[in-house]
Structure 1
Amino acid sequence: MELLCGGTLIHPSLVLTAAHCITSTARLRVHLGGWDVTGVLAQERDVAAIAIHHQYDRETLKHDIALLHLNRPAVLTPSVGPLCLGPVVRATKCLSVSLDNLETMETPVWKKERCWSKLININVNGQVLYHSSFLCTNSLLASTSNTPPSAITPSNKSSGSPLLCQDPRDGTYWQAGVMAFDIPSRNTAVFVSVMKQQEWILNTAQHLLTPQSW
């Protein structure tokens, strides 16, 4: 089994991921509960339905978000459970999840102005790469001398994985973003803010979970 992207269980029957991870209508399987897709303790589910944001732009990766409806609910265990969605709170510790390196990395979430400055002069077919729903952090990938200054890499295995931020009140974590793309030469990783997409997520989840709605 080939690992394509990451994702997050946000309901026993729903996985939140990046839209660009859905590259075809071929059969998709979701692996829950571990880093290793061959892990014997993990749960596997087929994908029964896919919903991609209606404004998703495959070139600029704006609104790069999708929901997967599982063919049967996950069994909740200490290693498999849904994450709550929440905002980025300043001075709160956040973690990015790298499936390329199989590790989590503590990282600050940049202020909007810094994110803007990293992306504003990158154009994709005449469109500015920056979008108000983007959250920027330090890159998850190492830059190489062969990486063009404006190269974005949306196809690494960390795509779709969560940006986790800690609740300062009780130390628990919620999901603040979905990994969209990385620009290693600018030490910039870009996530889609789940709070900016909250209305779409909630409405689409309700639609997918309504019997016979799809």
Structure 2
Amino acid sequence: MLGILFAVLALASAAFGCGVPSYPPLVTRVVGGENARPYSWPWQVSLQYYANGKWSHTCGGTLIATNWVMTAAHCISSTMTYKVLIGKYNLAATEAGSVAVSPSRIIVHRNWNSNNVANGYDIALIKLSQHVTLSDKIQLACLPAAQTILSSNTPCYVTGWGRLQTNGPLPDKLQQGRLLVVNYATCSSASWWGTTVKSTMVCAGGDGVISSCSGDSGGPLNCQRADGTWEVHGIVSFGSSISCNYYHKPSVFTRVSAYNSWIQQVMATN
């Protein structure tokens, strides 16, 4: 039976591939956040925690295998109970085809230090307690090749259920925001993030208009290849403590291409 199950999963993965949504995102040159097209980012997940008798969204994440989710290390607490919602668009609605799966293991990068976010290593992998079936609403993300560096001004999209403005409410519907990549030389300059930003990070935004915000943490920075395929190049890590949309303080993401070997090693040995 297990052989049949894995064969079916392999066929599903082959049928859907990665990075090509069944419902293509409506990507525009609009500056600012907007409601995403339903199910157009089918690798986006909502990481939720249980407290006071209810489940609440805390972070985003990315489905990278049928039983693995990638998120930020700072989203994980050893004292919390989590579940992962997959195939969701509206967190306030019951949606056909969505699933909720509990983690079986959560592996935080061993070099992560919660007291020093600027040190980097803000990455964690969640092994799901069961494989999910891929569908038109649940698909895998493509990851970039190791050490890929995005060019300055590459347009990418941050997605999540994070706040639309500092101290604002969390939205029910998945949001997307267009951000332009800021190269490392600029982002690490004194008038930007300075030495807070490391080469294992990606900066995007900083125009004072749109950025990731509280609740987006752990979610993907989606960038489109020339052939139309989407790759997840970043994991939302941190932003300005002054304001989500602060000028010259772009959103900072863990650069996925700096951690390819770690991701592969964790998935192979767990």
Both structures adopt the same fold (TM-score exceeding 0.5): yes
**Among 65, 69, 73, the residue aligned to 1:19:** 73
SS in 2 for 1:4: strand
Q: Which has the higher contact order (CA 8 A, sep 6+)?
A: 1
Moved more, 97-106 or 198-207: 97-106
Give the aligned partner of residue 108 of structure 1.
180
**5+ long unaligned stretches in structure 2:** 1-54, 165-173
Moved more, 175-184 or 9-18: 175-184
Do the aligned residues in 2 keep the contact of 1:110 with 1:136 (CA within 8 Å)? yes
SS in 1 for 2:58: coil
- C-alpha distance in 1, partners of 2:206/2:160? 10
- C-alpha distance in 2, partners of 1:139/1:24? 33
Please report the RMSD computed on the Cα atoms of aligned residues, expressed in angstroms.
2.2
Pair 47,75 (structure 1): closer, same or farther in 2 beyond 3 Å? same
Q: Could you tell me the percent identity over the aligned residues?
A: 27
Give the aligned partner of residue 193 of structure 2.
119
**How many pairs are equivalent?**
190
Deviations 1:70-93 (A, max 9, x none): 000111111111101014543643
**Among 197, 200, 203, the residue aligned to 1:136:** 203
- C-alpha distance in 2, partners of 1:57/1:188? 22
Amino acid aligned to 2:255: S
CA-CA distance at 1:134 after TM superposition: 1.0
Do the aligned residues in 1 keep the contact of 2:59 with 2:215 (CA within 8 Å)? yes
TM-score by length of 2: 0.65
TM-score by length of 1: 0.81
- C-alpha distance in 1, partners of 2:104/2:261? 22
Do the aligned residues in 1 keep the contact of 2:150 with 2:181 (CA within 8 Å)? no
* Correspondences of 1:62-211 after superposition (within 5 Å): 62-86=120-144, 87-90=148-151, 92-100=154-162, 101=164, 102-117=174-189, 118-120=192-194, 128-138=195-205, 156-168=214-226, 170-183=227-240, 184=244, 185=246, 186-208=248-270
SS in 2 for 1:49: strand
SS in 1 for 2:268: helix
SS in 2 for 1:113: helix
Pair 137,182 (structure 1): closer, same or farther in 2 beyond 3 Å? same
